[in-house]
Each structure stands twice: as structure tokens, then as C-alpha cells.
Chains A and B, each alone.
Chain A
């Protein structure tokens, strides 16, 4: 699509270099689509966990944009606030935090995500790790006390739909009480790790699980409905391809089917608790840190699923999504190299060597 500027040239002569066929899609449009897709999660987290989640989101986004602008200015590079990528990073980071986290920690986290994880590497597209994910891990070790308390839905939801896990620990089993000191109200995955029952006392599958009204660590990750709406929107708009989410979630499903002894409710539990779905749609599909080729994306998704399950089933942490993404981020350049498309007519080096040897023999 030729823009007005090109046509304004004397005698309508377009003197730009190829490519001549262009799309209106640019970074800002893609980021805008991601923001729209995240909107249901924002709404859901505000309804389930109260207006404080809006405050967290505001602080995270504001500091992300501010530090993006400042760091670009300090480094004397072109300003990139306009591409909205800082807004997306801040928003995803906010949705990955617990509801009771102090706001100064949120602000520091945002600055860390933009300055250390993104701009120091050279800005958008140059970062080797997903900034929101690294920041969440860094914050979990820096402010571990803030991550000890799970997010608890607001009172009126608790009144109407007594919470799944909270209820079961009130009348706690012996195994759960051992960890009560460390975790005041365990998330479903923590509960599972402590040997508790799956979906203990779920009295409304639709509200407690599908709409996400239960205790969890991060405010954005429980509402399955909101995540699916956002994910499907991104898929329909062509912002993300289905390879990574499907291979990631599929791998987790298959592994938990085997691990749980072909118990479908166990598979369902592993799907809907923790940050799996949110990460699969919004964080694993990050352009800068995921493979480019379709085969590579599938390999990447399977790797994510394997690491997530290994940590969930045998690791000491209850949740493995964030570490799995970081580990696969490291492997992304290698996956890209292994799955690179062969140019048309190009022969593999091995077969070329063999051909050369044959020729040499003939001579």
C-alpha cells in the first residue's frame, strides 16, 4: 500500500525500494491488539479481586512507560513510547502479581522490566528474555514475603460462592497445616503439592473455576473465560499463531494424563489452575523471545509443557510456568537455527560433502 507521501513525489513517481506490497500492520497495531485482548483479563481481575488490581495495573503501566521514555532519552535513542510495547509489558507484569503486593514494589518491578530486561539489551526485539516473566521471577526472589500470600477474591464473591481452597484449608488436613506458616492461604497448586484434594469443596464449577473465583497467586491468571476470549481474539486477528498455545497446553495435558493415571479431573485441574493458560496465550507467544518457524514454535511449546510439568510434579516449587518460559527463551535462538527453512535448491552440507567425495573418486 503506497502512502500519500510516496504519491506526492513529482510526476507520481514512486522511488522507494522494495518491498512494494505492504501491510498496515505495525508494532503499534499489534500491541494495540494485545491490549484489547488483555482487556477481559483486566475486567475479570477487577471484579474478582477488587479495585486494588486496577491500581496495581495503573502503577505498573505508568512506571513502565515512564522508564521506557527516560531510558531511551538517556541512551540517546529514538523514542519508542508510541509503539505501546511498554504498556503491554507493564500490563502483563501487573496481571502476574498478587493483589496484596505493596505498590512501591510494583513500580520497581516495572522499572526493572523495562530498563534491565529490555532497554539494556537494546530495546524491543533485542531482549532475549520475556521482560514480564524475568521481572516476576526477580520479584519473587527479591520480595518473597509479598508472594507468600495468595490473592483472595473480594468478600461478596466469597459470600455467594464459598471459595474452593480457602474453605478446605480452614478445616485443614495435617499435611496442609505443616505449610501454613509459610503460606497463609495456599493456591490450588500449593494445595496439590501439599497432598491436598483437587477441587476440594468446589460448589460451583462454573463460577469457581471457569470464571476464576478462587485463590491464586497472580490476579490475571484465574479467569479462564477472559483468557480464552483474549486468546481467541489474538488468534482471529492473526497476531499469534496457534502452534505455541496448542503444543504447550497439549503437552501439559498429555503429561498430566499419564502422571495422574488417566484421571480426567486431574488433567482438567492442571489446565485451569496456575498461570498456564495466561502464559500460553500472552507470554509464550511474545514475538521477540519465541521461535520464528512453525516447527520451531511446536518444539518450543512442547519444551514449555515438559518443563512446566516437571516442576509442577517433581520440583519443589508449586508452579513452573515462569521458569519454563525463561528456560525456553534461552533455547529460542538454537531452535530457530535447527528449524531454519532451507532455501529453494539448497542442498544439505552432508549430502554435498558426499557428492564431492563421489566426484573425487570418479576423477
Chain B
């Protein structure tokens, strides 16, 4: 299915894997930081949030991609939000019924997935312009990338801040560093992981903004050298 839909320059494998490292939603696109900082102080919370986001992202991408030719351009954002909100309500009810502790743990951040910019961002930047198969792969890749990012942050924060992993004590209470359970520690850890991800994604001498500036909502305002040079090329052409 995916092969039949394949546009000439889009590679299915790339669509899925770009969400993991090169365009990781948290560490490279820097989207959805609010909820990810809030739920990443424990691994269980991070896992619950990650799975919920994968679910919503996958299904909303599929539905929005299916509807992309029917949604009028002027009201597309409300339409996307409505679709996303529907799936978030489903997740919320499912968690409340079958995984109540995680539902309690995530609290307000679960319904807030509706306004998580990763999901709206993918709907706007990818699902509304691509075929169903590609949109599903993109949603899955972005969701998995988000979950990996959350789990990495939560691993460090829970281990150093509370001395536990998935609730099991690893480091005695007296030797924990409470700073990591606070927002400050969250920002610190995110910063360090961002450096690691930038290192993984960029080879020396390669431009910073990556290949696909069209997918970036900030492309119009971006001041990175790569974007500027691209703009100059376009102006020259014109």
C-alpha cells in the first residue's frame, strides 16, 4: 500500500526513522516540551504518556490524511483539533477504565494532548499533504521518537532524583539529588539530551536545519545560515 502511494522523493523508511533522531519531536523539533517536562519525572508516567501520544498521533494522522481533500483550507486548524480531541477522549476513557493509576498519574496532561503541538504540527506539516500510508508511518515514527525521548529524560530524572527505576529503589534515599525531580532538573536533562541528539543527527560540516525545512513551522522566521542561504538561492532564481 505504502509503495503504491509513494511519491517520487519520499522514502517510506525515511519517513518512519526521521522521527527517531533527525527530526525527533522533543530534541530536534523542540515541540511539546511542556507536557514532556511535566510527566518525565517518572518512567511509568513517561511510558503512559508516550503510548497515549503514539495512539493519538497515529490515528489522527490517518484520519486527517484521509480527509485532506475535504477539509477547507481556511478552517483546517479547528477541523484538525476536533479530530485530535476525539482520539484524546478515547484514550482518556480507555486509560480511566483499564489503567486507572496511570490515568491518575498523568492528570491534566492527558487531556492536554489535544493541544500538544507535536500532533497538530504533524497534522499541519505532514498528514495534510501526504498519503494515508505515509501519514501513518510519520505518526508512528514521531510517536516512537517522542516516547524514546520521554523515556530517556525520565530514566535520568527518576534514577538521580528519586533513586528508583520503575519504582524499584536503586540508589538509597540519602544519596539522591532532588533537583532532578524539579522542573530545573528537567530542563538541564533535556538540554544535555538535546546536545547528544544534535551530535547524532549532524555530521561535521553538515547544515544545521536538516533537509526538510518545509516541514518546520518556524521556517519563515528561522535565522539559521542554512535557511538564509536557501532563501538567497530562491531569490536569485526569481
B11 within 8 A of A: no
* Interface-side segment among A136-144, A183-191, A351-359: A136-144
Q: Which residue of B lies closest to A108 (CB)?
A: B177
Instruction: Give min CB distance, B170 to chain A, whole Å.
Output: 17
Determine how close the nearest CB of chain B comes to the CB of A352; give it in whole angstroms: 28
Instruction: Give the chain B neighbours of A144 by CB distance below 8 A.
Output: 178
Which residues of A are found within 8 Å of B175, using beta-carbon distances? 104
Q: Which residues of B contact A141 (CB under 8 A)?
A: 178-179, 182, 184
Task: Let me know if B188 is at the binding interface, CB within 8 A.
Answer: yes
Q: Does A178 sit at the interface, judged by CB under 8 A?
A: no
Smallest CB–CB gap between B176 and chain A, Å? 9
Q: Which residues of A contact B177 (CB under 8 A)?
A: 108, 142-143
Question: Restricting to A90-109, which residues have a CB under 8 Å from any CB of B?
Answer: 104, 108
Query: Chain B's nearest CB lies how many Å from the CB of A233?
Result: 36
Q: List the B side residues contacting A143 at CB < 8 Å.
A: 177-178
Is A254 an interface residue when CB atoms closer than 8 A count as contact? no
Q: Mark B151-190, 1 if CB is under 8 A from A, else 0.
A: 0000000000000000000000001011110101100100
- CA A144 to CA B177, docked complex, whole Å: 9
Residues of B within 8 A of A142 (CB): 177-180, 185
- Minimal Cβ-Cβ distance residue in A for B178: A142
Which residues on the A side are within 8 Å of B188 (C-beta)? 116
Q: In A123-158, which residues have CB < 8 Å from any B CB?
A: 138, 141-144
CB-based nearest A residue for B195: A120
The 8 A CB mask of B180-221 against A (1 = contact, 0 = none) is 101011001000000000000000000000000000000000
**Majority-rule SS of B interface residues:** helix
Closest residue of A by beta carbon distance from B185: A142
Could you tell me how many residues of chain A have their Cβ less than 8 Å away from some Cβ of chain B?
8
- Counting chain B CB atoms within 10 Å of each CB, the highest count among A104, A138, A142, A143 belongs to A142
* Bound CA span A104–B179, Å: 16
A42 and B67 CA atoms in complex are apart in Å by 72
> Cα distance A116–B191 when bound, in Å?
11
Q: Could you tell me the distance between the alpha carbons of A116 and B187 in the complex, rounded to whole angstroms?
A: 13
Assembly CA distance A363 to B184 (angstroms): 60
Residues in B neighbouring A108, C-beta threshold 8 A: 177
CB A36 to nearest CB in B, in angstroms, measures: 34
Smallest Cβ distance from B186 to chain A, in angstroms? 13
What chain A residues lie within 8 Å of B185 (beta carbons)?
142
Instruction: Name the B residues within 8 Å of A104 (CB-CB).
Output: 175
Instruction: Give Cα distance in the complex from A241 to B67, angstroms.
Output: 69
**B180 contacts which chain A residues (CB < 8 A)?**
142
A77 to chain B, nearest CB (A): 16
Q: Give the complex CA separation of A171 and B188 in angstroms.
A: 44
Output the least CB separation between B175 and chain A (Å): 8
A104 to B174, CA, bound (A): 11
**Complex Cα distance A116/B184, Å?**
13
B234 to A: closest C-beta gap in Å: 33
| Residue in chain A with minimal CB distance to B184 | A141
B194: shortest Cβ distance to chain A, in Å?
12
Shortest B199–chain A CB gap in Å is 12
On chain B, the residues within 8 Å of A138 by CB distance are 179, 184
Contacts of A116 in B (CB 8 A): 188
Residue of B with least CB distance to A138: B179
Question: How far is the CB of B156 from the nearest CB of chain A, in Å?
Answer: 14
Q: How far is the CA of A138 from the CA of B178 in the complex (A)?
A: 10
A116–chain B nearest beta-carbon distance, Å: 7
Please report the C-alpha to C-alpha distance between residue A258 and residue B113 in the assembled complex, in whole angstroms. 52
Query: Which of B177, B182, B184 gathers the greatest number of chain A CB atoms within 10 Å?
Result: B177
In whole Å, how far is B67's beta carbon from the nearest beta carbon of chain A?
A: 46
Q: How far is the CA of A142 from the CA of B162 in the complex (A)?
A: 11
User: Measured between alpha carbons, how far is A116 from B182 in the docked complex, in Å?
Assistant: 17
Residue of B nearest to A139 (CB): B179
Q: How far is the CB of A294 from chain B (nearest CB, A)?
A: 34
Most B CB atoms within 10 A — which of A104, A108, A141? Answer: A141
How many angstroms between the C-alpha atoms of A144 and B179 in the bound complex? Answer: 9
How far is A141 from B185 in the complex, measured between Cα atoms in Å? 10
B137 to chain A, nearest CB (A): 36
- Closest-CB distance, B172 to chain A (whole angstroms): 12
Nearest CB of B to A129, in Å: 13
Chain B residue nearest in CB terms to A141: B179
Closest to A144 in B: B178
Shortest Cβ distance from B180 into A: residue: A142
**A residues within 8 A CB of B184?**
138, 141
- Could you tell me the distance between the alpha carbons of A144 and B161 in the complex, rounded to whole angstroms? 13
Instruction: Give per-residue flags for A103-123: 1 if the beta carbon is below 8 A from chain B beta carbons, else 0.
Output: 010001000000010000000
A185 to chain B, nearest CB (A): 21
Closest beta carbon of chain A to B191's beta carbon, Å: 9
Nearest residue, chain A, Cβ from B160: A142
**The 10 residue pairs across chains A and B that have the minimum distance between CB atoms:** A142-B179, A142-B177, A141-B179, A142-B178, A138-B179, A141-B182, A144-B178, A141-B184, A141-B178, A143-B177
The 13 sampled A-B contact pairs (Cβ below 8 Å) are A104-B175, A108-B177, A116-B188, A138-B184, A141-B178, A141-B179, A141-B182, A141-B184, A142-B177, A142-B178, A142-B180, A143-B177, A144-B178
Residues of B within 8 A of A (CB): 175, 177-180, 182, 184-185, 188
Given A104-B175, A116-B188, A143-B177, 4 more contacts at CB 8 Å? Answer: A141-B178, A141-B179, A141-B184, A142-B179
